[in-house]
Amino acid sequence: MKKFLFFSLILLLGFAFQTLDAQEIQSSDSSSFGSSEKQHQRIGLGIGLKASTFGLGGEVVAAITPKIHVRLGGTYLKYSLPESLTSMEDIKSSNEFIFGGISLFGNYHITRIFFVSAGAIYNMIEADVQGAPSRTVAIGAIDATPEQVGSLSLHIEPTMKVCPYLGLGLGRTIATDGIFSFAFEAGAAFIGQPKVSLNATGMLTPTGSAEQQQTLEDNLSFIKITPMISFQLSIRII
């Protein structure tokens, strides 16, 4: 069933892009591609709704020339895992993950429905995880209260807040002659090595030492690029 749905989605996307391309070819055949009226139709302004691995949001798209589009947008998503998945019998924990950013991209259309995108993202991705004992814990011959044991908190965010981005797309972020357009895009943002903040109280204080924090940063040093996949539905308003 999952394979059937996957292939159905691929066929639907292929049909949508083929239809878009056919409509543009037909439109270009019916009038001169280089005429001033045609050029005027291809330059305009649109807005789009976007779902991506950086969250949900939207964009304002300006067609500067028939092949060059400028996009200003933003996405945001806050998510927490259910407490039942993160808390154990003796430990209570909480977590919060934030995805999102403010982006400024430029598209260059190599063909009618294939484009290269480049620009920058103000990256707001971060993670906060906290943990503490939920009841008295036996440590050897001593019964330590939750306050005595203490708590541990971890914060992770990218080193580079403004990240360069490069991607490839299919479709159009603003329609050529019609009103609606659809685009799929896959790319990556260079975020640099993640920065870690580790804090601990009570008996757990040594766990929050600078050496432990550096060890965590070293273990996460391989994460320097964040992949980005997005789907966008746009409406031309001018």
Tally of domains in the chain: 1
Cα–Cα distance list, 148 to 57, 114, 136, 201, 205 (Å): 44, 61, 9, 9, 11
Residue 179 burial class via C-beta count within 10 angstroms: exposed 0-12, middle 13-18, buried 19 and up = exposed
Beta-carbon contacts of residue 199 (< 8 Å; ≥ 6 apart)? 152, 153, 208
What distance lies between CA 11 and its chain's CA centroid? Answer: 25
Asked, for residue 27, whether it belongs to a domain, the answer is no
- Give strand ranges (E) for 110-174: 114-123, 126-133, 137-139, 142-144, 152-157, 162-171
Q: What is the pLDDT of residue 82?
A: 75
Beta-carbon contacts of residue 90 (< 8 Å; ≥ 6 apart)? 133, 134, 135, 137
pLDDT exceeds cutoff 50 at 205: yes
How many other CB atoms are there within 10 angstroms of residue 147's CB atom? 11
pLDDT in tens, 35-75: 444 544 578 999 999 999 999 999 999 999 989 999 999 99
Beta-carbon contacts of residue 47 (< 8 Å; ≥ 6 apart)? 58, 59, 60, 61, 234, 235, 237
Percentage of residues of the chain with pLDDT beyond 90: 61
Q: What is the pLDDT of residue 21?
A: 46
Q: Which of 4-8, 166-170, 193-197, 217-221 has the highest mean pLDDT?
A: 166-170
Cα–Cα distance list, 122 to 25, 62, 72, 103, 190 (Å): 37, 20, 11, 6, 11
Q: What is the pLDDT of residue 233?
A: 97
Mean pLDDT of 125-138: 89
Which of 185, 24, 33 lies closest to 118 in space, CA to CA? 185
pLDDT exceeds cutoff 50 at 31: no
Query: Is the CB of residue 68 less than 8 Å from the CB of residue 106?
Result: yes
Looking at the DSSP bridge assignments, the partners of residue 103 are 73, 121
Asked, for residue 26, whether it belongs to a domain, the answer is no
For 4, the enclosing helix (H) or strand (E) is helix 2-30
More confident residue, 43 or 87: 43
pLDDT exceeds cutoff 60 at 29: no
Coil, helix or strand for 41?
helix
Asked, for residue 13, whether it belongs to a domain, the answer is no
CATH assignment of the domain containing 194? 2.40.160.170
Q: What angle do CA 98, 104, 109 make, to 5 degrees?
A: 125
Asked, for residue 3, whether it belongs to a domain, the answer is no
Q: What is the pLDDT of residue 89?
A: 67
Coil, helix or strand for 216?
helix
Domain that holds residue 94: 35-236
Asked, for residue 17, whether it belongs to a domain, the answer is no
pLDDT exceeds cutoff 80 at 133: yes
Look up residue 103 and give its amino acid.
Answer: S
Asked, for residue 68, whether it belongs to a domain, the answer is yes
CA–CA dist 101, 99 (Å, integer): 7
Asked, for residue 25, whether it belongs to a domain, the answer is no
Beta-carbon contacts of residue 11 (< 8 Å; ≥ 6 apart)? none
Asked, for residue 173, whether it belongs to a domain, the answer is yes
Q: What is the pLDDT of residue 106?
A: 97
